[in-house]
Amino acid sequence: MIRTLIVDDSAFMRMAIRSMLAGSSDIKIVDNARNGKEAVEKAKELHPDIIIMDVNMPVMDGLTAVKTIMNTDPVPIIMFSTLTAEGSKEALEALHLGAIDFVTKSDNHHEVKNVERELIDKIKNIHKSNPNILRLLNMRKFKGEIVRGKWKCSGNFGILIGSSTGGPSSLEQVIPRLPGDLPAPVFVVQHMPEGSFCKQMAERLNFLSELDVKEAVNNEKVKNGVVYIAPGGYHMTIRKALNVIRIKLIKGQPVHAVIPAVDVTAESMVNVYEKNIVASILTGMGNDGADGLKMIKDAGGSTIACSEDTCVIFGMPRAAIEKGAIDVIKPIFEISEEIVNRLEVKCNGK
């Protein structure tokens, strides 16, 4: 049984969430909380397996509650909030404070079943996550440890980073440690739904990094030293024509039930960069990225997976490892260094 604590200031919403979760025999509601202060107290008392947390609440808001819980008695937390423009920033902040994922509230009765299914699926998958690593990620925020490389390169090189659940916090451990003179673009595929906060996430990473970090735009010319984050709801591909490399965003069908998908970006990168690729899988559920990184490795590129003990959810890295797609497994805190070292080898022709 997955012991779940519901936190929301609305009695109606608490009842609605309880009703949604009643459809799963694997989930047991241990209690409700009306605000963040109650959530902190009941988390400490009841030790739930997972917490469903609202963002805007009286007495103590959800962000403060997430920060407090993750710093004292870490528990996997799913934010359950409407995603207005302002709310998106709050939900993103919650993810960086240690919340593991979010589900969007909806007052459209046609979407209730989809929300119910998403919430139940995420609870079941996230139940297997590592709450202690969430706390560690929060404690080890970037503090300027940029990894420097020595570049003597000619030609085009590309870096791919794939992540899903737990990705925003994990990306903060990788992107800001990459040097600003990186002789390659970085393509980030973070599973996000359309209309979510990829732009805000890019702005946050840009503030922390020497590299320029931005949400990818269709048909833009690719530049070295720039991090391109795939926008939610679009596959990000890389194309080369007349010796110019550009990003092409595709509003296509989901791959592995997700869009954007790592595999789609990886395949397009092999067509452009061939063996001159360094790719890494950080965290997430499912097996997206396994086929793509296998293609990269088979083409002569370098591939890295996050180690299980420093991974929020080991599903995607495990799938890539089991596929034989990974050259080396590294802790999340060493992946930037590994990327730079492997790119340096490729650039210098070693």
Which position among 288, 291, 302, 336 bears the catalytic label? 288
Smallest Cα–Cα separation from 169: which of 67, 254, 80?
Answer: 67
Instruction: Check: CB of residue 52 under 8 Å from CB of residue 113.
Output: no
Distance, CA of 214 to CA of 198 (rounded, Å)? 9
Residues 6+ apart with CB under 8 A from 325: 290, 291, 293, 294, 296, 297, 303
Smallest Cα–Cα separation from 77: which of 131, 114, 124, 125?
Answer: 131
Is there a catalytic annotation at residue 280? no
Is there a catalytic annotation at residue 309? no
DSSP per residue, 91-119 = HHHHHHHT--EEEE----TTTHHHHHHHH
Which position among 8, 101, 191, 196 bears the catalytic label? 191
Place of tokens 């959530």: 39
Which position among 81, 129, 163, 164 bears the catalytic label? 164
Is there a catalytic annotation at residue 61? no
Classified as helix, coil or strand, 175 is helix
Would you please indicate which residues are annotated as catalytic (active-site) residues? 164, 191, 288
